[in-house]
Amino acid sequence: MPLLYLRFYLGSLSALFAFYLLGHYLLGFPFPTPTTLLHLALGAGAGVGLGAVYHRVWPLPPPGLGRVVRLFVLLPPAFMLGIGLLVLLQAQVALPYLVPLLAWLTPDYGKAPSSTP
């Protein structure tokens, strides 16, 4: 199971890096420096880690109201963690949005709860 989380982390990180590079060449954003890429890697790692820990504490329920409640319980600490990283690192990346997004997406890669027949 840790390999699934690592695979998800590396996949999302490569998508973020590609987005920043395409943003530079297509939209004129500043070229991503190694510091910016490190900030993205730390934010993505914090989001995936928070999602994995949260999934272990409160597994993903079946679709319905339970998932909505779980989402609203997950978002405030994930958003505050992103803001804390942004202030701590003095980063210029979207860490307050990146951490909750990856924390929300990570449980899909976790072990599904076993159903009883």
- List the chain domain ranges: 31-107
Quick one: DSSP state of residue 28?
-
Tokens 């701590």: give the residue.
88
Query: What count of residues does the chain have?
Result: 117
Q: Are 95 and 87 in contact (CB under 8 A)?
A: no
In the chain, the percentage of residues whose pLDDT exceeds 70 is 91
Report how far residue 106's alpha carbon sits from residue 24's, in angstroms, rounded to the nearest whole number: 28
Q: Answer yes or no: is pLDDT of 111 > 80.
A: no
Supply the pTM of this predicted model: 0.81
Q: Answer yes or no: is pLDDT of 4 > 80.
A: yes
Q: Answer yes or no: is pLDDT of 1 > 80.
A: no
Report which of 117, 116, 107, 108 is spatially closest to residue 58, judged by C-alpha positions. Answer: 107
What backbone torsions phi and psi does residue 85 show, to the nearest 5 degrees? -65, -40
- The alpha carbon dihedral of 34, 15, 108, 63 has a sign of positive
Q: Answer yes or no: is pLDDT of 98 > 80.
A: yes
How confident is the model over 57-84, as pLDDT tens digits? 888 888 888 888 888 888 898 999 989 8
Report how far residue 91's alpha carbon sits from residue 31's, in angstroms, rounded to the nearest whole number: 14
pLDDT of residue 112: 55
Q: Chain centroid to CA 10: how far?
A: 11
